[in-house]
Chain A
Amino acid sequence: MSEDSIISLQNVNKWFGEFHVLKDVDLEVKKKERIVVCGPSGSGKSTMIRCINRLEEHQEGTIIVDGIELTGNLKNIDSVRKEVGMVFQQFNLFPHLSVKENITLAPIWVKKMPKAEAEELAMQQLEIVKIPEQADKYPGQLSGGQQQRVAIARSLAMKPNIMLFDEPTSALDPEMIKEVLDVMIDLAEGGMTMIVVTHEMGFAKTVADRMVFMDEGRIVEQAEPDKFFNNPESDRTKLFLSQILNH
């Protein structure tokens, strides 16, 4: 593993039953680097980032996050989860809690922060995602775009060093995609280490330091956006790009 890597996957293999989802995956992510992962569905991109905060368990290889190796050791998993925030395709807000309570839950219970301080923190995070006025509503009363921004605020409240995004805009109506991407761009400009699984190629071109293309469980190609979009090496990448860019 190179010295300035904050995330390092070496030779990672994973199976779902008989199905080989991740095949010899190697990935190094540097501090403050923004990675966009793309690829056809079923290519293992979600599984890969879910392995990084141990929502999925890998069976072979090593994953090291911020100097902590992910093994069966529960303490390590807990400390990695405190470092890594995650945003899901389906938002996964807690529907029985208000927006503010969604955000303060982890600071209060995991970091043992006093309630007043946590609420102040929650309001700061809501300012960052530009919806402080929704603090007392419930998730069911918000639009999809607003819900996803609350989900981002909820992750940010734990002050993670790394943010993982698992197709954050795929479940959104087209007119709401931009508001979520804008928040993510702000975050990237603020220097957050990010791994984003997305099909939003416009976003990738603006934000990504590096593109990662996956197919059938393997990382097929890694390159800077400029090279990736204009001069990809592999035929598989060319085919994929032609399919998603020309419509």
Chain B
Amino acid sequence: MNDITESRKPPVATTGILGWFRMNLFSNWVNSLISLFVLYILYQFIPWILNWTIFAADFKYNFNGEEIINREMCSRVLDPENGGACWAIIYVRFYQFMYGFYPRDEVWRVNLSYIMLAVAVVPLLFDKFPFRKHFLKFTYVFPIIAFFLLNGGLGLDPVSTNKWGGLLVTLVLGCTGIALAFPLGIILALGRRSNLPVISMMCTLFIEFIRGVPLITLLFFGMVMLPLFLPEGIDMDGLARVLVAVTLFQSAYMAEVIRGGLQAIPQGQYEAARSIGLSYWQMNMKVVLPQAIRISIPSIVNTSIGLFKDTTLVIIVGLLDLLGIGRGALADTTWLGLAYEVYFFVSLVFFIFTFGMSRYSLYLEKKLKTGINMGAD
């Protein structure tokens, strides 16, 4: 006989792997049919894609063991039935994909910047990182170091930005755009909610104008019109002009995302902050923004991913980002017709970065949920 306080084990069939399958895939006959159908599709598709991308693919040599130097030597051109992807085009052009036309003698500067970028960003992302405080000091000066390292100056040979390309341009645009747009967006969001009508109107006008215009238009604006506004004799670098456009664009979106977060903060939080004597900025920096940004994390990451992918649009103002280099490679007559490989590779690189961002946002959401019940009040 069961004691009334005794707890029993759940029925066997609802736990473990079998239980999971039953609950999630075969709970009734419709689900079972759908599950079987999907499994069949996966069974057909996964081996094929693995075969094409890896097992039957050429990397440096074709199936005759010759080093591939043009498209005619690719296994899939020699034997369309059995050959897989011809990654040789990526292999041969890997330098361009990573650095564009950056001088080979100076490429250590880009590599060093990539490493320093990792050292600057990783401690920023994980608050349990050992000696985080000291690393963060480096994070703040990193943009300056990277600027001189990549651009030249301070004894380093100058490298004109029209030699930059590939992942380098994608990362410079993406990282700078996101990093600058975040504080700008916060200021715009606070400004739009300000009690001072002039400030609020100016911020609203700016946000609405930028949001109402396609990014491409802003890029053309940066390229063609920005120099007209600059004093004579000052020539702004092409990449810098694009950066201005990208940053303004992103900051308007960021502002709206953060404003959404601000609207979710109860009035009582402002009143409590004010009643203990905090000033406007102290209240925002210590009480309101930390909560508002926390709420906005999914949307912040969402717009950041959007921007990272939108940087590919710079191709139309003549900058060669990762996708631009890819299109250049396709236009090369020795490699004509390898579009699958190039687009697959470019997509993969983008996917690695954006998937990383998306996973990080999930990690953050989970971490911030534990221990802090935002809905307590």
Residues of A near any B CB (own CB < 8 A): 53, 55, 78, 81-82, 84-86, 88, 90-96, 105-106, 109-110, 138-141, 147, 151, 154-155, 158
Q: A95-B291, A105-B276, A138-B372 are in contact. List 16 more A-B contacts (CB 8 A).
A: A78-B277, A81-B274, A81-B276, A82-B277, A85-B276, A86-B272, A86-B275, A91-B377, A92-B377, A94-B291, A96-B290, A105-B286, A110-B276, A139-B377, A155-B275, A155-B276
The residue on B at minimum CB distance from A154 is B276
Chain B residues numbered 220-245 whose CB sits less than 8 Å from any CB in chain A: none
Which of B278, B291, B372, B377: most chain A CB closer than 10 A? Answer: B377
User: Inside 8 A of B276's CB, which chain A residues have their CB?
Assistant: 81, 85, 105-106, 110, 154-155, 158
Which residues of B are at the interface with A, using a C-beta cutoff of 8 A?
Answer: 266, 268-269, 271-279, 282, 286-287, 290-291, 294, 371-377
Shortest beta-carbon distance, B37 to chain A, in Å? 45
Secondary structure of the A contact surface, majority rule: mixed
CB neighbours of B275 from chain A (8 A): 53, 55, 81, 84-86, 88, 155
Chain B residues near A82 (CB-CB < 8 A): 277
CA of A87 to CA of B271, assembled, Å: 10
User: Can you list 23 A-B contacts with CB-CB less than 8 angstroms, sorted by A residue number?
Assistant: A55-B274, A81-B274, A81-B275, A81-B277, A90-B377, A92-B266, A92-B377, A93-B376, A94-B269, A94-B272, A95-B291, A96-B372, A106-B277, A109-B286, A110-B277, A110-B278, A110-B279, A140-B374, A140-B376, A141-B373, A154-B272, A154-B276, A158-B276
How many pairs, one residue from A and one from B, have CB atoms within 8 Å of each other in the complex?
A: 87
Q: Using Cβ atoms and an 8 Å threshold, which residues of chain B touch A84?
A: 275
| A147 and B377 alpha carbons, distance in the complex (Å) | 9
Rounded to whole Å, the gap between the CB of B194 and the closest CB of chain A is: 15
**Interface secondary structure of B, over-half rule:** helix
CB neighbours of B268 from chain A (8 A)? 88, 90, 92
Contact, CB under 8 Å: A109 / B282: yes
Q: Which 10 A-B pairs have the closest CB atoms?
A: A140-B373, A92-B272, A140-B376, A92-B268, A106-B276, A86-B275, A110-B277, A81-B277, A82-B277, A109-B282
Residues of A within 8 A of B374 (CB): 95-96, 140
B364 to chain A, nearest CB (A): 13
Q: Tell me, in angstroms, the Cα distance from A138 to B278 when the chains sit together.
A: 21
Evaluate contact between A55 and B371: CB separation under 8 angstroms.
no
Measured in the bound complex, the distance between the Cα atoms of B291 and A183 in whole Å is: 30
User: Are A78 and B279 in contact, CB atoms less than 8 angstroms apart?
Assistant: yes
Give the nearest-CB partner of B273 in chain A.
A94
Residue among B274, B276, B286, B377 having the largest count of chain A Cβ atoms under 10 Å:
B276
Residues of A contacting B294 in the complex (Cβ-Cβ under 8 angstroms): 96
- In the bound complex, do residue B282 and residue A95 qualify as a contact, i.e. CB atoms below 8 Å apart? no
Chain B residues with CB under 8 A of A106: 276-278
Closest to A171 in B: B377
With A96-B294, A109-B278 as contacts: A88 and B373 at CB distance below 8 Å: no
Name the residue in B272, B275, B278 with the highest tally of chain A Cβ atoms < 10 Å from its Cβ: B275
**Residues of B close to A93: CB separation below 8 A:** 272, 376-377
Looking at the assembled complex, report how far the CB atom of A95 sits from the nearest CB atom of chain B, in whole angstroms: 5
Report A-chain residues with C-beta under 8 Å of the C-beta of B291. Answer: 94-96
Residue of B nearest to A80 (CB): B277
| Minimum CB–CB distance for B270 against chain A, Å | 9
Scoring A88, A90, A94 by chain B CB atoms within 10 A of each residue's CB, the highest score goes to A94
